[in-house]
Structure 1
Amino acid sequence: MIVDGTGQARDMNADVVVIGGGIVGCAAAWYLAKRNVDVVLVEKGDIADEQSSRAWGFVRQQARDPAEMPLMIACNRIWQQLEDELDADIQWVQAGNLALAADEARMQQFRDWLPVAREFNLETRLLSRSEILSLVPKMTGPYIGGMYTPSDGHAEPRLATVAFADAARRKGARILTYHAAEKIETTAGQVSAVVTDRGVVRTPIVINAAGARAMTIARMVGLSLPQLVVRATVAETTPMEPVTGAGVWGPGVSFRQKKDGSFYIAGGAQSDYDITLDSLRYIREFMPNYLKNRRFFRMRVGAPLWHDIARRIPGTEDNKHPFARTVGIEPTPNAGTVLRSLKGLNRLIPATSELRIRRSWAGLIDTTPDAIPVIGPVDAPQGFIFATGFSGHGFAMGPIVGKVLAELIVDGAPSIDLHDLAYSRFAEGRVGKPKSVV
């Protein structure tokens, strides 16, 4: 039984239930509805409330793990016509992605990635400092060169995610906000229902697109998902005249300039990590990558750990309602990261020295040991499908992931091979080192 907007209870059935109202879940609902699938999306809060609205907005093919490249190249084509497809303004700008190198070692990393670009016919090229200055004259700060992919772009995360949800609704999808999934029922090894805090939706197929909460959803069907969550800080500056339309990944700061002239700035790879019980459970899987990149992480022990412990104790309210504490939360931004990001922007572009911080926020990023997502069905239970672990790439990849999931469900197979991204890779020992360059 589901409580509708009038407060009345009613039965509900669906061909597919999507758990998660971020861009991946909303895109899946849209593409399924386009294929005349009866789809219900359940979201514990509001659409784009937790992760997707807090993303940086970068849409890049550049410097990705080769396993992601087929999806991202196809997704870039979707982004180019998405405003027409969804009949919505998502502030799409296609002006490239520019990664800067402060030293020769970083330039060598870019050179080493170029064979991947050539393999996938991507127009990425290396640029000298003088070539970059021709492209962005005001960027006179410290760097020796960079890598540029002109077909990359960026968009406004909340606008894009809400546009998918609105389009899905118009096609008949039922979008149930403030419905937290609390249990998944199975019958004879097959998914049979999703139990929310407001009722039950009977269905044979569930897509776990819950992002930072996907581990909890996986445990509902007895699966262990090696995924952890980091907290990234982003800030928005006051506006100035146009500097560049490209997304820039630079030494000490990553940024893009919005259409109103303000900058979204972030600390590149810098993140905060709140320790949870899963930190201990998956320490073996994540330790190699942590040791290699530990300078980028600041460890914290606090409320997330205590809430996680409470969720694991049978009979507690946190155990019965695992997402109750997570609705409407505002992750704490790191003030030091904001200050360092602004200083990094000022160093790269001295003309920004008079800008001030308009606002700052933090967002959660779900990440896997090999920093590539988990997409596709599992062997058991039948009907359970993962779409998570995007490792900071979920916003950019969301549209194509929604599309291939619809193909998987309706056609029986996706148009793009998902073997390298399968959940089974963890049990089969097919987990390598992260291969992305930025």
Structure 2
Amino acid sequence: MKLTRRNVLLGSGGLLLAGAGAITIPMALRPGSLQASKSRARPVSGQGTPPAEADVVIIGAGIMGVSTALFLAEKGLSVVVCEKGQVAAEQSSRAYGQVTNFGLPQEVVELGQQSKMLWQGMNARIGQDTSYRAYGRVQAFKEDSEIEEARAWLAKAEAVAPVQAPIRARFVEGAELEQLLPGAQSEWKAGYYQDDDGGMEPAFAAPAVAEGAMARGVTIVTECAVRGFETEGGAVSHVITEKGGVRTKALVVAGGSWSRLFLGNADINFPVLPVYLSQQRIAGVEGPPAVGAAGRVVWRKEVDGSYSNGPRFMTAPILRDSFSLLFDFLPVLPEMLSGDTPLDMTLGSDLPRSFGIERSWKLDQQTPFERARIVAPTHNDGTLDASFGWLKDEFPAFKEGRVIERWGGMVDVAKDEIPVISPVPSTQGLFVMGGFTFGLTQGLGAGELMADLVAGDVPKINAKNFELARITAG
């Protein structure tokens, strides 16, 4: 299956159609609702209160926040990270965990390759095992049309990849493909193979980076929601948390799916929508290929021998923002509707809940972030069962396996599926990063880019593709 912008965004487009009253797509009521949850991440001990002053304050201790903090600290800046819950407790510990950028929009290829290069050196850089491994990955194809699409994508991607991190890819077939997919039952015609693709266990990756940042002097304060910020002369001057204020000249909003709500309280539009995803781990299996992707299924062997598996389905919750952002997403609907990814939507308790969440508050008031320390959507057992069933059919060795864990995650997407890593033009010293549908893949590159922007250094990759103005103009 071709990974395209429309495929990732089909869920959001479908919910917008539902919001407009269209009936051209049947709406299935799928499982998926936000609930209080426990962190999947390895615990990291944070500080109890923030300092009175810092060069930079970062909201969110997921992979985006902690990697930005790491690179800023390496530039000699004092950094405090405020996290409403625990380090990597939400999406950063709930991802699939592969590092590849195959099939993604050309605008993010450079970011993905730079990030991959950084992941390859991160263990040595911080003196910790992030669990990242480069083990190679094959994307299998049955049809000539799929192969030609992949060849065309590669040609364009090679042209935009950074000189310091070129794409190392080739097409394989015959005996070599069989060796990469041992035991496969289908007659795969060819495969796209990148030997430097890799992955990591999400439960360990961001916590290791966080500890690397703390070793460089970064302060991470957990159970500490940021309520807002104050300005002087149009520039950030103070960040107000539930545990007190921090004087600073720079604030980076890296709150994942919470960033839109936070910025909205300051009358700043950040037009992204959430989508839910489901993942699982399978144990007791010997013999299948260590990693791969085919059809609508991906799989990856973990360090402990279990397999992570995720279907390429996303569930779009119909929320208050589905209506308010209708016209932002409307222009991309034709492209989304031409995709071949099934459309899952959920119309349930999250809709009335979204109307009940405060959209504005004063800085001395409790915020929604303090009432939702760690949340995650429930997982979709139907798509997970189907994904595991496909693995069993394609690789009979999986029939001996058993599901040992399932979980749901939540990412936010922009209408063009390209992340935002950008200053906020209206406020000097305010920055935002979000819209990452492949956050662990792009996390280190995004953190490095954001650190360069905050510090006023020349970015190592083109920053223009990620400017906020591209999705707020018009």
Where does residue 102 of structure 2 map in the other structure?
62
Task: Provide the rounded CA distance (Å) in 2 between the counterparts of 1:11 and 1:113.
Answer: 48
> Does the alignment pair 1:261 with 2:305?
yes
**1:425, distance to aligned residue in structure 2 (A):** 1.1
Mark the runs of 5 or more structure 1 residues left unpaired by the alignment: 430-438
Where does residue 383 of structure 1 map in the other structure?
429
TM-score (norm 2): 0.83
Where does residue 235 of structure 2 map in the other structure?
190
Q: 1:313 to 1:222 in 2, by over 3 A?
A: closer
**1:11, distance to aligned residue in structure 2 (A):** 6.0
Q: 1:115 to 1:258 in 2, by over 3 A?
A: same
Q: Which of 255, 268, 293 is equivalent to 1:249?
A: 293
Q: 1:386 to 1:49 in 2, by over 3 A?
A: same
1:162-216 superposed Cα distances (whole Å, 9 cap, x missing partner): 0111111111111011111122222221112222222222211111111111111
AA matched with 1:408 = L
> Contact 1:230–1:273 at 8 Å: present in 2 too?
yes
Q: Which of 79, 82, 107 is equivalent to 2:147?
A: 107
**1:291, distance to aligned residue in structure 2 (A):** 2.6
> Does the alignment pair 1:354 with 2:394?
no
1:80-125 superposed Cα distances (whole Å, 9 cap, x missing partner): 1211112112222212222222433333321221212431342322
Worse overlay, 10-19 or 25-34: 10-19
Q: Which of 414, 425, 436 is equivalent to 2:459?
A: 414
Where does residue 323 of structure 1 map in the other structure?
369
AA matched with 1:156 = E
Task: Provide the rounded CA distance (Å) in 2 between the counterparts of 1:47 and 1:283.
Answer: 33
Q: Which of 84, 89, 93 is equivalent to 2:133?
A: 93
AA matched with 2:81 = L
> Contact 2:130–2:209 at 8 Å: present in 1 too?
no
Where does residue 433 of structure 1 map in the other structure?
none
Q: 1:5 to 1:377 in 2, by over 3 A?
A: closer
Task: Provide the rounded CA distance (Å) in 2 between the counterparts of 1:211 and 1:267.
Answer: 22
> Contact 1:209–1:387 at 8 Å: present in 2 too?
yes
Task: Provide the rounded CA distance (Å) in 2 between the counterparts of 1:375 and 1:6.
Answer: 27
Q: 1:302 to 1:188 in 2, by over 3 A?
A: farther
AA matched with 1:274 = P
Q: 1:104 to 1:286 in 2, by over 3 A?
A: farther
Q: 1:142 to 1:252 in 2, by over 3 A?
A: farther
Q: 1:28 to 1:257 in 2, by over 3 A?
A: same
Where does residue 34 of structure 1 map in the other structure?
74
Mark the runs of 5 or more structure 2 residues left unpaired by the alignment: 1-44
Where does residue 53 of structure 1 map in the other structure?
93
> Does the alignment pair 1:209 with 2:254?
yes
AA matched with 2:298 = S
> Contact 1:184–1:220 at 8 Å: present in 2 too?
no
Task: Provide the rounded CA distance (Å) in 1 between the counterparts of 2:107 and 2:216.
Answer: 32
Q: How is 1:361-376 mapped onto 2 (pairs within 5 angstroms)? A: 361-376=407-422
Task: Provide the rounded CA distance (Å) in 2 between the counterparts of 1:81 and 1:299.
Answer: 39
> Contact 2:50–2:219 at 8 Å: present in 1 too?
no
Q: Which of 14, 17, 21 is equivalent to 2:57?
A: 17
**1:155, distance to aligned residue in structure 2 (A):** 1.1
Where does residue 276 of structure 1 map in the other structure?
319
Q: Which of 333, 339, 348 is equivalent to 1:302?
A: 348
AA matched with 2:453 = L
Task: Provide the rounded CA distance (Å) in 2 between the counterparts of 1:314 and 1:74.
Answer: 38
Of structures 1 and 2, the one scoring higher in RCO (CA 8 A, sep 6+) is 2
1:254-274 superposed Cα distances (whole Å, 9 cap, x missing partner): 110112221111112x01111
Q: 1:20 to 1:314 in 2, by over 3 A?
A: closer
Task: Provide the rounded CA distance (Å) in 2 between the counterparts of 1:245 and 1:356.
Answer: 17
**1:47, distance to aligned residue in structure 2 (A):** 0.4
Task: Provide the rounded CA distance (Å) in 2 between the counterparts of 1:311 and 1:405.
Answer: 30
Give the secondary-structure state (helix, strand or coil) at the position aligned to 2:375: coil
Worse overlay, 419-428 or 368-377: 419-428
